[in-house]
Amino acid sequence: MRLHDFRGGVHPPSQKHLSAGRPIESLPLPARLYIPLQQHAGAPALPVVTVGQQVGKGELLARAQGATSAPLHAPSSGRIAAIGEFTAPHASGLPLPTIILDTDGEERWAERAPPPDPFSLSPEEVARRVGAAGIVGMGGANFPASVKLSKARQAGVHTLVINGAECEPYVTCDDQLMRERAGEIADGIAIMLHALQASRAVIAIENNKPEAIQAMSDACRHDARIEVLGLPSRYPAGSAKQLIQLLTGLETPAGGRGTDTGLLVHNVGTAYAAHRALRHDRPLISRIVTVSGGAVPEPRNLEVPIGALAADLLAYCGGVSDERARLLMGGPMMGQPLPGPQVPVIKGTNGILALTPDEVGEAGEPSPCIRCGRCVEACPMGLLPLELSKRARGEDWEGIQALGLNDCMSCGSCAYVCPSHIPLPQYFAYARGMLAAQRREEQKARRTRELMEQRQARFERQERAKAEAAAARRAAKKPRTVVLEADED
């Protein structure tokens, strides 16, 4: 397969050496787990347990609600301590509905049925089981995997792309997963190919992970449908659109889906989770998380039950050495700043990073834009970040949409290179927020107008009915009137 190129992108220094090659260790089971009901796109899951209830490991805690939702399962056995609000992994630090589980340390599995051979199942059934296991995209997008599989099969996707690019600096959890569990990933890929009815898979891995490339190549040697491909390491090669472009030269049409190109992208962690679900009947209750950054004394890759707090992970890695560290969930390019360490790991968490001010590269106040065009050069989507931010500052919401705000995927490449240190993605986020508020307002106004019009119409109908009735009455009276008139005459 010949590689193509994508435009833009940046080369942030890797920093993967801090945690790369560290064998995956299991985090000691925390006494409490905090499982937010919203760990996926779509509506929050609906709890099916009550406070005080004993649950076994893997037991259903909350069921999916709506088409793009995902169920939640108990990461360990124990007792439901509370169902309430708890800080979610979001910069705002706002609380979200959360199931709080006191673990009993017994790791007692709920009863599982011995799973049938996945290849004897129908593709629909495989996708359904992937969905029932609560599997969402493990690369951070958190979109339910079963929905992607079914939609892609219906769209006639021919190639499954397994994303092992992992282009964010620091993050090595996928790298380590591929090195240690390549056989399981390969099996998961075969299962997903069956669910998709697609004919081949490509595992795309950045060239800075030679061990992972080797391990995956060895594991897939027996399966002629699976190809392992090394990519040049350049951020954001791991973004689905850029990955598809690298592999095929095709661009996903604006406003369209990746599947329009005939390819479907899934993360390696998702393939591994599919293997666990279909071969061992294990729901998605844990994941591999990279704990790293200059303020972490002992960076590691940890297998972590969903719901463990960032504080638990950091404590296991020697605590945070620098009080002025910036705490992140995810990588430095797109990661979420955390309001504090008391925030749980969710299904899409690939890293917990504590970065020192040096690593963050803080440069004080932003200076004026000098129109150097580096952001334009760096934008993988071919946008004009400086013009977009100018529109956002001028509150020109129509202009900013015309310039393609909706095409921006917030990869942060523009701000990474900006010599004036302008926080461009924050302007875009602000504009998105304002536009969303505007849309809500418009919807409300439209609804009000509709109600007004309906009311008006009702009044008019009533008036008309009244008038007609009056006319009818008059008409009915008419002969009498004539008579009266006649009488008068």
Partner 1 sequence: MNSNSFAGAPHAHDQDSVPRLMGAVLLAILPATLYGLFLFGWPAFNLLTITVLVGLVCEAGCLWLAGRPIRPGVMDGSALLTGVLLALSLPPWAPWWIGAIGAGFAVVVGKQVFGGTGQNIFNPAMLARVMLLVSFPVEMTTWLTPHPWWSGTSPGWLEGWLITLGHFSATDGVTGATILGYARTELGMNHSLAQILAGHYQASAAALGWTGGSLGETAEWLVLLGGLWLLRRRVITWHIPVGMLGAVLVLASGFHLLDPQRFADPVLHLLSGGLMLGAFFIATDPVTSPISSLGQIVFGVGCGVLVYIIRTWGGYPEGVAFAVVLMNAATPVIDHYIRPRAYGRTWSGKPRPVPARAKQPPLARKSGVDARD
Binding to partner 1 (CB under 8 A) within 373-432 occurs at 373-374, 376-377, 379-384, 386, 402, 404, 407, 410, 412-413, 415-421, 423, 425-426, 429
What the block records as the tokens of 133 is 């296991």
Candidates 156, 210, 394, 433: give the one binding partner 1 (CB under 8 A): 156
* Closest separation in Å from C-beta 129 to partner 1: 18
Candidates 333, 388, 392, 400: give the one binding partner 1 (CB under 8 A): 333
| Bridge partners (DSSP) listed for residue 33 | 101
Candidates 4, 7, 446, 449: give the one binding partner 1 (CB under 8 A): 7
* Closest separation in Å from C-beta 163 to partner 1: 18
Nearer to partner 1, 180 or 251 (CB): 251
Q: Does 195 bind partner 1 (CB under 8 A)?
A: no
Stretch 215-254 residues interacting with partner 1 (CB under 8 A): 224-225, 241, 245, 248, 250-254
Q: Does 335 bind partner 1 (CB under 8 A)?
A: yes
Stretch 46-85 residues interacting with partner 1 (CB under 8 A): none
Q: Does 169 bind partner 1 (CB under 8 A)?
A: yes
Q: Does 260 bind partner 1 (CB under 8 A)?
A: yes
Candidates 27, 325, 352, 405: give the one binding partner 1 (CB under 8 A): 325
The span from the CA of 293 to the CA of 233, in Å, is 20
Q: Does 120 bind partner 1 (CB under 8 A)?
A: no
Stretch 442-481 residues interacting with partner 1 (CB under 8 A): none
Tell me the window of 53-61, 96-104, 370-378, 469-477 that interacts with partner 1 (CB under 8 A): 370-378
- Size, binding site for partner 1 by CB under 8 A: 89
Tell me the window of 124-132, 264-272, 322-330, 478-486 that interacts with partner 1 (CB under 8 A): 322-330
* Closest separation in Å from C-beta 48 to partner 1: 35
Nearer to partner 1, 65 or 410 (CB): 410
* Closest separation in Å from C-beta 382 to partner 1: 4
Tell me the window of 210-218, 265-273, 349-357, 447-455 that interacts with partner 1 (CB under 8 A): 349-357
* Closest separation in Å from C-beta 443 to partner 1: 24
Residue among 1, 2, 13, 4 nearest 234 (CA): 13
Nearer to partner 1, 19 or 159 (CB): 159
* Closest separation in Å from C-beta 39 to partner 1: 20
Q: Does 91 bind partner 1 (CB under 8 A)?
A: yes
Tell me the window of 206-214, 284-292, 297-305, 361-369 that interacts with partner 1 (CB under 8 A): 361-369
Nearer to partner 1, 10 or 138 (CB): 10
Q: Does 485 bind partner 1 (CB under 8 A)?
A: no
What the block records as the tokens of 282 is 């294990």
What the block records as the tokens of 416 is 């990474």
